[in-house]
Amino acid sequence: MLVAEVWLKRLLVFGSSTLVTNPSIQAVFSSKTLHISQHFSSLKLLHLIIYLPTLFAQDVSNYIPPSNSAFIALVFVATAVQFGFYMETGLEVDWLTGISFMRNPSGLKVLMSGSASVYRASGAMVSAALACLTIHYFAQNGGYHLPQRTLNIPPPVNATQGIQRRHTSILLLIIGLSSIILLQWNRPSIPYDHLSDSIPFAVLKAWHQVQTTNRPVRQKYETSAMGNLNGLTWSDDQPLQGFDCWLENKGKPGAYPGLCDTHQHRYKAMDDPLKISNLDLDLLLPLQQTFQKSAANITHIILLTLESTRDDVFPIRPGSPMHERILRSQGENQRVMVDRMLARLTPVAHKVAGDPFTQQGNMGGISVDGAVTGSTYTVKSLLGSHCGVYPMPFDFLREVEYDIYQPCIPHILNLFNHVKDNESDLNLGPTDVHSRPWTSAFLQSVETYDWNQDLEIKQMGFDILIDADTLRNETAKHYPPKSPVLNYFGYAEPELKPYLKDIINDAVQSQKRLFLSHLTSTTHHPWDVPSSFIKKEYMGSHDGIDHTDFNKYLNALSYADQWLGDVLDSLDEAGITNETLVVIVGDHGFPFPEDSKSWGVTGNPHNSAFRIPLIFRHPNLPRIQVTANASSMSILPTILDLLIQSNSLDKDDTSIASALIKQYQGQSLLRPFRNIHNGLQCWNFAIIAPGGSLLAISSAAVPYRLIMPLTKNYEYRFTNLDIDPAEVQPLVAWSLGDLRTAVHNKYDPEASSWVGKAAEVGNWWLQEQDRLWNNHDE
């Protein structure tokens, strides 16, 4: 009876005027209401009605009196953040991810960019609380008097009746509590445990929580290292960085001792049940003709990674959905003006990819239509483009704690240096291009330290790193920076220009071959550009929609395009344009409110976050448009294929490259792309930022996409891009079975069957990543 009385008192508090006057209770219940409403479309209405009382049980049972100021402050701030994040992105707060961002100085800057929405939410909460207090005050102090004739005063209740009513209330409460307890015991844990989370305790739990997943722990494997690479060995039998475990560990001291043990694993193409190779196919016909003439020599390689650059804006094509979106915002009568503006938006992109407005192709190269990223988290996506590997399905850059399971581009080039016969004369500047040593450099004008990216770049094998710390270092050659800090993480790209020229000129003068990787940053949110840049109004208001952010994005694209032109001009000035392969790729896209109800890449599964431009540009290559649902993992094998086919390597290097290319998971884009082979679909996997919550699964053979949750806080999601290319009506469900039923009912049995297969393949892939990355965490 005592427990029931305690609960009765708490319910009386929640049901009395305290609910109106206590801001913390208002915050908790408004937070829970928003929390439930964000998942409403994936819930069965009848189940929600039945289990609804259990969703608020935690809030009542853990009620803390309003005298606890720390509790009130936590509830108020957390609720304001939850509503502010929803107002800013349309997404639900992942407290574990958010707290991780807070602990990172650069991540905190990102979070603070949305502070205006949090302030607005705080203001709305304060206003609502004051309004409730005002109403309550007037109601209690005669502000609203009812006419006396309408009052119906009940007769006094005697003591016996009072005791009976009290016992009846307690009995009803016991019945109600028992029902709630039974419902809570019998309700499905997914999604109702997540929906039951109470705002203050969800935050506190996330503060101390280690990321958990739905995946079973992968057992340790007792196999040896890879042995050797198709018979290739090194004269001193000493593995190089990136090849540490490709040879048996014989206990000899080396540059990286201890990395190879009995539990170390490597990718083996012959053991990969998902591997599809197209190396047995002939080159595309235009390329055959070019290489027969030995017209495309490659001395240097430039890999340009464009931050948050979507495929549909590089460049914008006439008649495309993006072109029509801009036209709608300006009005149909402004078509000529819009086309003129868009033709000048990204002129360098037009030249590189072929000018869609004039139908002129100014530069040769291979342009890939349909490319997707391996991760919407930038530093994870770099692993696919630079190393041909998939990232780990964990939040942030956990990969730096492990050994990358394939050699990256700098590792391979360093191997070329290592095996040359004239190793002792590498610095003498041989005139034969094939005999020249390779050097590698990574440039970006923003920070690398806070994201562990500096460790990643070193892990990839780069010789030189230029970043924001370099630019503001007083000992740097071109110190001080000529412009102020821009956006969150550093400076505008032109601050790199003198360093870029130094690296290029040094390679030319010392007769070295250069691999230079550059990551841009201006197109990252919040899309600020230097004050000297003249901004334009690409988006209008004719459609009645606020396009402020998207207009900022287009201006940032225009600015980044100018910088891209500066980079290509630097090659011209050094006289190496005709012998330089330039690879241009987006790290990921970026969904805007114009695309979906939620925007941004963190936790956002929308397809516009994944579609990226991918171009292999060389003046002497023919202009080819390749349609392939390939991932950025095809970049490394395509580069190796280009080096081999263009005779840009000597005999030994060609032998190594020919052996290595077979070991990578991606297909070469110089050959017909296989969407399906011997009944096996070409699967693509992509980690959704920040990495540990959602996995995107697609296939080059079908237009379907499955989003698979890696934690219990997210739903399954399915779209058919043939029928719903903008993903306006995704199907969502908390269980795979419910999703398959929904897909079967809306589409057909084939699509439902594909969902089951995709989930099966996805679960295998998750465990395979643990094995390849040698992750055996218990």
680 touches 639 (CB < 8 A): no
- Judged against a pLDDT cut of 60, whether residue 15 lies above it is answered with no
235 is a domain residue: no
Residues 581 and 624 in one domain: yes
This prediction has a pTM of 0.86
pLDDT value at residue 536: 94
- Tell me what percent of the residues of the chain surpass a pLDDT of 90: 56
| pLDDT for 146 beyond 60 | no
Query: Closest by alpha carbon to 300, among 523, 517, 447?
Result: 517
- pLDDT tens readout for residues 210-265: 444 445 444 433 333 344 454 455 444 566 777 765 554 433 333 333 444 444 56
Q: Of the ranges 184-193, 260-269, 315-324, 732-741, which one carries the lowest mean pLDDT score?
A: 260-269
Would you say residue 459 lies in a domain? yes
Q: Are residues 571 and 687 in the same domain?
A: no
What was the pLDDT predicted at 286?
A: 94
Last residue of a domain, one of 645, 677, 709: 677
Do 178 and 44 fall into the same domain?
Answer: yes
Average pLDDT of span 19-29? 69
Same domain, 665 and 712: no
Residues 686 and 673 in one domain: no
Q: Which of 620, 647, 677 is the last residue of a domain?
A: 677
pLDDT-wise least confident of 133-142, 293-302, 574-583, 662-671: 133-142
Residues 588, 612 contacting (CB under 8 angstroms): yes
pLDDT at 254: 35
pLDDT of residue 185: 76
* pLDDT score for 178: 75
Determine the average pLDDT of the residues in 276-289: 96
Determine, yes or no, domain membership for 287.
Answer: no
Task: Assess whether 34 and 48 both reside in one domain.
Answer: yes
Alpha carbon distance 648, 509 (integer Å): 19
Q: Is 742 among the domain residues?
A: yes
Q: Are residues 618 and 672 in the same domain?
A: yes
pLDDT higher than 90, residue 562? yes
Q: For 601-639, what is each residue's pLDDT tens digit?
A: 999 999 999 999 999 999 999 999 999 999 999 999 999
> Stretch 51-80: mean pLDDT, rounded?
71
The reported pLDDT for the residue numbered 442 is: 98
Per the model's pLDDT, the better-predicted residue between 220 and 163 turns out to be 163
Domain count, the chain: 3
**Residue 591 pLDDT greater than 80, yes or no:** yes
DSSP string of 375-435, one letter each residue: BSSHHHHHHHHHHS-PPPSSSSSGGGGS--SS--HHHHHHHHHHH-TTGGGGGG--SSGGG
Render pLDDT for 343-366 as a digit per residue (tens, 0 to 9): 899 999 999 987 665 555 557 899
Low-confidence winner among 69-83, 249-263, 572-586 (lowest mean pLDDT): 249-263
144: left (phi over 0), alpha (psi -120 to 50) or beta: beta
Q: Which tokens go with 549?
A: 């952010």
**Domain assignment of residue 485, yes or no:** no
- What is the domain range of residue 13? 1-137+168-212
How large is the average pLDDT for residues 259-286? 82
Least confident of 60-69, 389-398, 727-736: 60-69
In-domain check, residue 265:
no
pLDDT at 402 over 60: yes
Beta strands 513-519; 300-306: pairing state: parallel
Length, in residues, of the chain: 778
Helix (H) or strand (E) holding 119: helix 115-140
Section 125-152 average pLDDT: 62
Res 416 pLDDT > 50: yes
In a domain, 355, yes or no: yes
Give the per-residue pLDDT at 166: 67
pLDDT higher than threshold 70 for residue 128: yes
Model pLDDT, residue 214: 47
Same domain, 624 and 706: no
What DSSP designation does 209 have? P
Q: If you average pLDDT over each of 27-31, 263-267, 718-722, which comes out highest?
A: 718-722
Residues above pLDDT 70, as percent of the chain: 79
Residue 95 lies in a domain: yes
pLDDT at 592 over 70: yes
The domain that contains 374 carries what CATH number?
Answer: 3.40.720.10
Q: Are residues 175 and 323 in the same domain?
A: no
Q: What is the pLDDT of residue 226?
A: 42
Pair 690, 738 in one domain = yes
Indicate whether 10 and 64 sit together in one domain: yes
Give the pLDDT score at 778: 44
494 pLDDT higher than 50 = yes
Structural contact between residues 369 and 682, judged by C-beta atoms closer than 8 angstroms: no
Gap between the Cα atoms of 613 and 621, Å rounded: 18
Task: Choose the final residue of a domain: 628, 654, 677.
Answer: 677
Report the amino acid identity of residue 303: L
Q: Which two tokens stand for residue 231?
A: 């018979």
Least-confidence region, from 62-71, 550-559, 576-585, 593-602: 62-71
Mean pLDDT, rounded, of the chain: 83
Structure tokens at 129: 């609380």
Are residues 689 and 661 part of one domain? no
d(CA 437, CA 114): 48
Q: What is the pLDDT of residue 739?
A: 97
